[in-house]
Structure formats: C-alpha cells, structure tokens
C-alpha cells in the first residue's frame, strides 16, 4: 500500500542508537517507563505496546511522576539516570517528528538527574585501604574464614579487577 508505516517516536529513538547493546539497554529503559505509565510489570510490555505508546502525550507532570516512581524502586542513581535519558531521547524524537512543540518538549524533559554517591568503577584503592581490609579479614576469629577472605582480597588486588569476583555468580567461597 502507499500508506507509510506508522512512525512512533519510541521506535525512531531506538533505531537511532548506534549499537545493538545501546538499543537493548535503552529499550529496556523505555519498557521501564512504559510499565510505570501503564501500572504494570516491565515484563508485560512487548514491542507492540512499547511502540504504540503515546509518547508525545507526555507532559512535565508525567515525566516528573516517572522520576518519582523510579526513585521508589531502589535502583542505583546511574540506572535511574539511564532510564531518564531514554525518556528524554524518545521525547526529543517526538519533537523532531513534529508531534510536540519545542516548548512542550522543553517542559517535558525538564527533569533532574538523580544524584548518587556510588564509587566510580575502576577507582584506585590506596595501599592503606587494602592493608586495612586485609587486617580486618585476618582479625576474623572464625576458623579459616579470615585467611580465606584475605587471600581473596590479595587475588583481587593483584588482578586489579573487582568486577571479576563480582561476576562470579553462584560461586561460593565457604570454608
């Protein structure tokens, strides 16, 4: 048919992202927003629902309510800010597609990021900090536990990667 496909700002936004990983992460963010707006679980949001949502109908009070709901989830600040970035991105596409005015866009995206106090990944840990942690491990009075924990710390510090231990799913370090 000669009728163009329905263009949805959500679809346009996701397709504008450069990598498959960015598309996956931001689509998940939009599903989180959609689940808040529709009062359901994110797992209930399929692509059809996501890409038929009336993104251009969102106003400041809606985006502020989404932010407030996200604050109640217990997500880290960086995760909340990523979801808010996805929301801002889809609203920008709504403006680019002529579905909202520049003023409506500016008002809707006028939501503050969440401040967090998480330690940046890869932060340098001083020798004194490492020594204090190992000393605390060695003071553990449970048989073998302190020595085990000190050995884990030594391995982590030697490898220079806390992530590797954090990703060791289902591995148990029991004495």
Q: Which two tokens stand for residue 95?
A: 């403006």
pLDDT of the chain, 175 residues: tens digit per residue? 455 556 899 999 999 999 999 999 999 999 999 999 999 998 999 999 999 999 999 999 999 999 999 999 989 999 999 999 999 999 999 999 999 999 999 999 999 999 986 666 667 778 888 888 888 888 988 888 888 988 888 788 776 654 545 555 445 555 4
CA 50 to chain centre: 18
Closest CA to 58 of 82, 81, 30, 22: 30
Task: Give the span between the Cα atoms of 60 and 72, in whole angstroms.
Answer: 19
């Amino acid at each position: 048919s000669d009728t163009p496909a329905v263009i949805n700002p959500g679809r346009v936004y996701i397709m504008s992202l450069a990598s498959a990983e960015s598309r996956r992460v931001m689509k998940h963010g939009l599903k989180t927003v959609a689940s808040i707006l529709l009062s359901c679980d994110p797992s209930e949001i399929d692509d059809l629902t996501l890409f038929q949502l009336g993104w251009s109908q969102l106003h400041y009070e809606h985006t502020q309510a989404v932010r407030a709901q996200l604050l109640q989830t217990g997500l880290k600040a960086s995760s909340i800010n990523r979801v808010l970035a996805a929301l801002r991105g889809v609203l920008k596409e709504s403006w680019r597609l002529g579905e909202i005015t520049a003023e409506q866009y500016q008002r809707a995206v006028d939501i503050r990021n969440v401040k967090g106090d998480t330690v940046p990944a890869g932060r340098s840990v001083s020798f004194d900090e490492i020594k204090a942690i190992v000393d605390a491990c060695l003071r553990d009075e449970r048989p073998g536990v302190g020595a085990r924990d000190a050995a884990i710390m030594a391995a982590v510090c030697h490898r220079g990667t806390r992530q590797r231990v954090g990703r060791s799913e289902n591995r148990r370090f029991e004495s």
